[in-house]
Amino acid sequence: MALLVIVLSLFIERVWPSLAEWRSFAWFGQFVDRFLRKRRGPMWSSHLGVIAVVFLPLFAVVIIHYVLAKIFVVFGFAFAAAVLLCCLGPRDLDADVRHFLNAWEQGDDARAQAYARHINEFGAAPFAAAALGRSVVEGILVAAHERWFGVIFWFIVLGPMGALWYRLACVLRDKSSRQGEESAFGDAALMMHHILDWIPARLAVLGYALAGSFADALDAWRAEAYGWKSKWLVNNYRLLIRGGIGALHLEQDLAADETRAVDARQVRAALGLVLRTLLLAIAVLAVVTVGTWVS
């Protein structure tokens, strides 16, 4: 069932470009703000507060999915697909990259910077002109994981609750990062996100390796293998970037004077790599599913 839900959700996302307009988790941000205003104190401003704010939405999804599946299995299937569809993205990575390349190749630097920011939400904007291609390549490798692989992994493990849990963790991470101030609640939100990211990030890098240059990706993985012990909160992103660049068979430090044509090809190659990885993940899941049915 998970395979059918994932394939259906990805298909709908592909044929419904305006879907991103409906994917808004502003309600959750408002809920978190109200929760923190009403419940002040050290007990609610740390790990317990983070657990509390995600518990109610996750509990609601579990109950609704269970009841609908008991009434009619198709209702449960449709609800699971709707939850997964809402948790993917929220933006269309393929469309963002196409718009970026169109603007960049036409010399529209302002629009190119805007789309580069949508793709690489973790870099410092505005991006330097000489490093814009590199920034977008890195953004694609991380965004594919945040928009697809992480959500799908937790959906496979925990169903609709898992997909929503990962997306809410991303929303909390973004909210804490935008506020720019250190707090126990923000640190707990970051920790929850990176814990949820730890396994799927490594599976994504393995997918990059299988879909690209395996030896180079494996070398990059080895270089970052023990980084989580001292810098584990940022190690997931570093691993995705270095592993993906290795899979693309690119040098870790691209020359600053690369031409736009070369950088554009690298951007297209990065998008191709993550799309191949997505297809590979679906193929592996299909084989496992068919094997389960046969056995």
What are the pLDDT digits (tens) for 90-106?
889 999 999 999 999 88
CB neighbourhood size of 165 (10 A): 22
pLDDT of 232 strictly over 90: no
pLDDT of 255 strictly over 60: no
Mean pLDDT of 151-158: 96
pLDDT of 109 strictly over 90: no
Which residue, 52, 48, 46, is CA-closest to 32?
52
Mean pLDDT of 10-31: 86
pLDDT of 33 strictly over 90: no
- What pLDDT sits at residue 260? 45
Could you read off the pLDDT of 40-84 as tens digits, one per residue? 666 667 788 899 999 999 999 999 999 999 999 999 999 999 999
Q: List CB contacts of 145: < 8 A, sequence separation 6 or more.
A: 197, 200, 201, 204, 240
pLDDT of 126 strictly over 50: yes
Q: How buried is residue 144: exposed, middle or buried, by Cβ count under 10 Å (0-12/13-18/19+)?
A: buried
Question: How many percent of the chain have pLDDT more than 90?
Answer: 52
Cis peptide before 90 (omega within 30 of 0): yes
**Maximum C-alpha span of the chain:** 62
pLDDT band per the 50, 70, 90 thresholds, residue 263 = confident
Give the residue extent of every domain in the chain: 2-294
- What pLDDT sits at residue 124? 60
b/e map 192-224, b = 16+ CB within 10 Å: bbbebbeebbbbbbbbbbebbbeebbbebbeeb
DSSP assignment letter at 145: I
H runs (alpha helix) in the chain:
2-15, 26-38, 47-71, 73-87, 93-105, 109-119, 132-144, 150-158, 160-179, 184-211, 214-224, 228-247, 260-294
Mean pLDDT of 235-240: 87
Residue 266 tokens, joined: 């690298």
Mean pLDDT of 230-259: 72
Give the C-alpha separation, 221 to 239, whole Å.
Answer: 6
Higher-pLDDT residue of 45, 14: 14
Predicted model pTM? 0.91
Query: Can you tell me which residue has the tokens 């804490």?
Result: 176
